[in-house]
A and B are shown apart, each in its own frame.
Chain A
Amino acid sequence: DAGITQSPRHKVTETGTPVTLRCHQTENHRYMYWYRQDPGHGLRLIHYSYGVKDTDKGEVSDGYSVSRSKTEDFLLTLESATSSQTSVYFCAIRETGGTNYGYTFGSGTRLTVV
């Protein structure tokens, strides 16, 4: 287990408010990811990080920002939440070294914007 913790697990927020989701890992992995999952769209990549202060956009980055000030934490921020951002958000890390290069996902954060 890569020791990934997402917080909060559930959140209800109002339209227009800022929201920050946290992904915390305990094993010093370099690569971290944020995905969202919606019915009919499957999992889509929002942003990813390849090191401290090194981030890049994914497929659906509009309306989201990220920060990674230390290896263990990758934060996803919705500056002004909209109803279209109601979704389940998954964080992931990528194992490196050896021959696996597999991805391990967190348990998800269910966000509802009302």
Chain B
Amino acid sequence: DAKTTQPPSMDCAEGRAANLPCNHSTISGNEYVYWYRQIHSQGPQYIIHGLKNNETNEMASLIITEDRKSSTLILPHATLRDTAVYYCIVRVGGGGADGLTFGKGTHLIIQP
């Protein structure tokens, strides 16, 4: 799986959009970008994933650059409950039995 680079921490004001960047310059053509988050003491939670097109669901939007070397997770109206560690993970979609490889992620702190 390709390696990802994320800032260790970010702050965002409540009600504003939180934009979390991720670099994955060695991504392969068949690798997807997945985002998970982990709220304190809970198990990681799936947010969104994409291959090359931008994606949106009820939780967030995922913007992937045209060259696929970086992406941005957008939480459109951040709330205090969005304070968590966010993980950007690159892996082959649907492939293999092996699990996800987690890096250190970005600790997003939503300020009131």
Question: Residues of A at under 8 Å CB distance from B?
Answer: 31, 33, 35, 42-45, 48-50, 56, 58, 88, 90, 92, 94, 96, 99-108
- Complex Cα gap A88–B41 (Å): 9
* Residue ID in chain A nearest B36 by CB atoms: A103
Identify 29 residue pairs between A and B in the complex whose beta-carbon atoms are under 8 Å apart, listed by A's number. A31-B97, A43-B44, A43-B100, A43-B102, A44-B102, A45-B98, A45-B101, A48-B97, A48-B98, A48-B99, A49-B97, A50-B97, A56-B97, A88-B41, A90-B43, A92-B43, A96-B94, A99-B93, A99-B94, A100-B49, A101-B49, A101-B93, A101-B94, A103-B44, A103-B99, A105-B45, A106-B43, A107-B42, A107-B43
Residue from B94, B98, B102 within 8 A of A42 (CB atoms): B102
Closest 8 CB pairs of A and B: A105-B43, A50-B97, A102-B46, A43-B102, A101-B94, A33-B99, A45-B99, A42-B102
Does B34 lie at the interface of the complex (its beta carbon under 8 Å from any beta carbon of A)? yes
Nearest CB of chain B from residue A48's CB, rounded to whole Å: 5
A99-B93, A103-B46, A108-B42 known; A42+B99 contact, CB < 8 A: no
Nearest CB of chain A from residue B99's CB, rounded to whole Å: 4
Nearest CB of chain B from residue A37's CB, rounded to whole Å: 9
* Residue ID in chain A nearest B104 by CB atoms: A42
Nearest CB of chain B from residue A10's CB, rounded to whole Å: 12
* Residue ID in chain B nearest A90 by CB atoms: B43
- Complex Cα gap A21–B43 (Å): 16
* Residue ID in chain A nearest B94 by CB atoms: A101
Nearest CB of chain B from residue A91's CB, rounded to whole Å: 8
Q: Mark B18-43, 1 if CB is under 8 A from A, else 0.
A: 00000000000000001010000111
- Complex Cα gap A100–B34 (Å): 10
Q: A108 contacts which chain B residues (CB < 8 A)?
A: 41-43
- Complex Cα gap A92–B46 (Å): 11
- Complex Cα gap A70–B36 (Å): 28
Q: A43 contacts which chain B residues (CB < 8 A)?
A: 44, 100, 102
- Complex Cα gap A20–B35 (Å): 31
A42-B103, A42-B105 known; A104+B46 contact, CB < 8 A: yes
